[in-house]
Structure 1
Amino acid sequence: MDVYDLKNHIIENPEHIVLILEKTGFYNVDERGNEYRCARKKGRNPTSVKVNKTTLGATCFSTNLKGDLITLVQNKLGLSFPKTIKRISEIVDYKSEEEYKPPELPFGGFYKKIRKLSNTMDLALETYSDDILDQFVSVPNKLFYEDGILPLTQSLFQVGYDSVSGRITVPWKSLSGELCGVMGRLNKKEVNDEETKWLPIISFPKSKTLYGFVENYSSIREKSIVMIGESEKHSMALASKGLNVGVSLGGSFLSEIQANHIKSMFPKKSLVMMDEGLGEEHSVEIANSLKFENFFENEVGYIFDRENQYLPKGSKMAPSDLDKSTLHLLIRDCTVWI
């Protein structure tokens, strides 16, 4: 299930917004210009909820929710992200790409670009039941804790331990929330030349998903900011600092699939936070690919510690490795907005 193919389907058929709201327990749905207004509960203020037709951005004044139609329904029904996607798909009778042929698309071709990408590249990932994770020990890892990743965060991201390979297990989710792979990290600080720090325990193409996307989706939509980094630890370290807005690429390159899904969340600010040692031009290229060309204004920037004031030269440190106060200074002093 491609989340943003689903969102595009709803945007192309705005009457589906009404259907989704009514079927999930909202009342008095009324069209007002470019948005729908309704009540969260029967007999309540009929304008307390609003949903934008062209972006699916949503606000619920009675609960202070700021997000999109997905997070609005998720909050109302108390479902997980994958179950929310499934419920919405059932309501609108959503068909797969092969079964569904769209009319002309909005937004100057932005969603058309995503659909074209769907046609030329296989977006589907092989997914698995979470029961597979039962073969690993579900326990917080001391090595990660010493690196600033709290036990609660490790639990949220389902970090475990594989006694067979002696590696810390880090599950990856597809963009719709299903388990699609597991990375394994050697459970020791010092790694010699004959050893590989990270290896896949369940292989998958990282370029087709984003680490932290599912776990942080609601927070990214609410705060309208996303911080993009390289490794899985980027998203977990930020979350341990109370910054649940990180997504990780699983490397230093941003694929077109990843870029389009980041942009599809319509963040007002996107901040590229690559590891020390990577050239500035690389961050510039990634940042440029996250800038909207029209119809939606967003700020995109990248961190580059030119004088190595906060990230020591040759350290290959990630910005998220810094403590919260130092990270704040790094962002303040070393962010370049394009």
Structure 2
Amino acid sequence: MDISVLKEKILENNYVPVILDEIGCHHISCKAGYVQCGNPDGDNQGAITVYLNEGLLTVDYTREIHSSSNLDTIDIFDLVQFFCSCTFYEAVRKVCNWCGINYYKDEYNDLPESLKFTKFISEMADDESSYEEMQPLKPIKENVLSYYFPAVNDFFLRDNISYSTQMLFEIGYDDVSNRITIPVRDEMGTLVGVKGRLFLKQEEMTEEEQRVKYIYLERCNRARILYGLYLSEKYIARTGYVYVVEAEKGVMQLWNMGIKNCVATCGKKISQYQINMLTRLSSHIIFCFDKDVTIDELNDIAYKFLDCIQISAIVDTENLLEEKESPTDNPDKFKQLIAKYTQVIKNGK
């Protein structure tokens, strides 16, 4: 669910007092256009003000609270993060549970047909949006994974993904399609898809097999996924920066190196939805895309982020990587690339 949509639901149903009560705030008082209360650990009965606007902008006059949106303002989710000592998406999960909101409810399907058409035209007219990105993620049942063998493999082992790391990411095998299976979980840890990698060596594949080397056995909207985020969010919060790779395998390779503050965009194309998610996660983003991504493409990506976000990227100017080699394939090369070939694409303000 878009965070903006979640905020709309909170406003429509007057859930702000519920959230403040769950945090432990006291003397909650609803005013015209805002709600006031005291901090859970303070005596000032008017220490917090939550404005009942679309941003649910929040002011705490007696506490210094960091904005997870990397703006100068904080919102009610920042308040939950602060007092519950949790990450952003943990705060979202708590709010949904407290308010009885279904995070996966398809708001688009609830609209009247006339409004659906208007919304579709409006969003398609926006150059930054696409029909694909509009499609919500839909949870799939966990027992789907029982259709596949929970088996580690030597293909990934040779690519520097240990058996234990494969087990952590629930790697399996589908004997029907002869594919390694990669479960895809969203930021909440909910199963939303399964990707399959053909169980053949690259040199053994026909041209057609190479074209479909990776396919979704259980489809999901990759434009709304940052692969690995449900595991890595706390490490991103701890370090203050995030490595962004293209492929799911890259996340596993970094975890195998002990680098856990990382996510994958599941392709070199990055959606506005993913940009919004990354902006919530960190003010310093380091892209570790394959070498076929040009500096112009990296500049285009950086331009889409808020000015306050620092964007860096690995740029292999000395051809350290081979033609088909990803930055994370070789641990020693990755360390060299980070140390010597990381360029600042955009300074955060």
Match of 1:311 among 312, 315, 321: 321
Q: Secondary structure at the match of 1:131?
A: helix
Q: Secondary structure at the match of 2:74?
A: coil
The aligned residue for residue 164 of structure 1 is 176
Structure 1 residue 15, shift from structure 2 partner: 5.2
Whether the 8 Å CA contact 2:89–2:187 is kept in 1: the answer is no
Deviation readout 1:97-128 (Å, 9 max, x if unpaired): 5799xxxxxxxxxxxxxxx9799963412321
Mapping for residues 44-193 of structure 1, pairs under 5 Å: 54=74, 56-57=77-78, 58=81, 68=87, 70-71=89-90, 85=93, 87-94=94-101, 122-190=134-202, 191-192=204-205, 193=207
Query: Which stretch has the larger CA shift, 327-336 or 130-139?
Result: 327-336
Whether the 8 Å CA contact 1:274–1:283 is kept in 2: the answer is no
- Seen in structure 2, the aligned counterparts of structure 1 residues 210 and 302 have a Cα distance that, compared at 3 Å, is same
Whether the 8 Å CA contact 1:36–1:50 is kept in 2: the answer is no
The aligned residue for residue 79 of structure 1 is none
Mapping for residues 17-28 of structure 1, pairs under 5 Å: 18-22=20-24, 28=41
1:131 & 1:270 partners in 2: Cα distance?
A: 35
1:10 & 1:298 partners in 2: Cα distance?
A: 28
1:88 partner letter: V
Deviation readout 1:138-177 (Å, 9 max, x if unpaired): 1222111111112222222211111111110011123433
2:131 & 2:19 partners in 1: Cα distance?
A: 25
The alignment status of 1:247 with 2:268, answered yes or no, reads no
Q: Secondary structure at the match of 2:139?
A: coil
Structure 1 residue 222, shift from structure 2 partner: 2.4
The aligned residue for residue 202 of structure 1 is 218
1:239 partner letter: W
Could you tell me which runs of 5 or more consecutive residues in structure 1 were left unpaired when the two chains were aligned.
Answer: 38-46, 74-83, 101-115
What is the TM-score normalised by the length of structure 2?
0.69
1:7 & 1:176 partners in 2: Cα distance?
A: 17
Max Rg structure: 2
Deviation readout 1:41-77 (Å, 9 max, x if unpaired): xxxxxx9x967671545468xx9x6x53554x6xxxx
Deviation readout 1:181-225 (Å, 9 max, x if unpaired): 111112233242241321221122312222112222222222221
Query: Which stretch has the larger CA shift, 269-278 or 326-335?
Result: 326-335
Identity over aligned pairs, percent: 24
Could you tell me which runs of 5 or more consecutive residues in structure 2 were left unpaired when the two chains were aligned.
Answer: 26-38, 50-58, 68-72, 112-127
The aligned residue for residue 125 of structure 2 is none
1:318 partner letter: S
The aligned residue for residue 123 of structure 2 is none
Deviation readout 1:241-284 (Å, 9 max, x if unpaired): 1111221122111011111111122x021011111223221122
The alignment status of 1:276 with 2:291, answered yes or no, reads yes
1:4 & 1:138 partners in 2: Cα distance?
A: 38
1:119 & 1:194 partners in 2: Cα distance?
A: 27
1:2 & 1:278 partners in 2: Cα distance?
A: 28
1:19 partner letter: D
The alignment status of 1:329 with 2:336, answered yes or no, reads yes
Deviating beyond 6 angstroms after TM superposition, the runs of 4 or more aligned structure 1 residues are 7-14, 116-120
Whether the 8 Å CA contact 2:242–2:263 is kept in 1: the answer is yes
1:167 & 1:331 partners in 2: Cα distance?
A: 32
2:236 partner letter: I
- Seen in structure 2, the aligned counterparts of structure 1 residues 260 and 152 have a Cα distance that, compared at 3 Å, is same
Mapping for residues 258-269 of structure 1, pairs under 5 Å: 258-265=274-281, 267-269=282-284
Instruction: Provide the alpha-carbon RMSD of the alignment.
Output: 3.7
1:285 partner letter: D
Aligned residues: 287
Whether the 8 Å CA contact 1:224–1:268 is kept in 2: the answer is yes
2:7 & 2:171 partners in 1: Cα distance?
A: 30
The aligned residue for residue 105 of structure 1 is none
Mapping for residues 27-42 of structure 1, pairs under 5 Å: 28=41, 31=47, 34-35=59-60
Whether the 8 Å CA contact 2:288–2:314 is kept in 1: the answer is yes
Match of 1:302 among 305, 313, 318: 313
1:135 & 1:148 partners in 2: Cα distance?
A: 26
- Seen in structure 2, the aligned counterparts of structure 1 residues 121 and 322 have a Cα distance that, compared at 3 Å, is closer
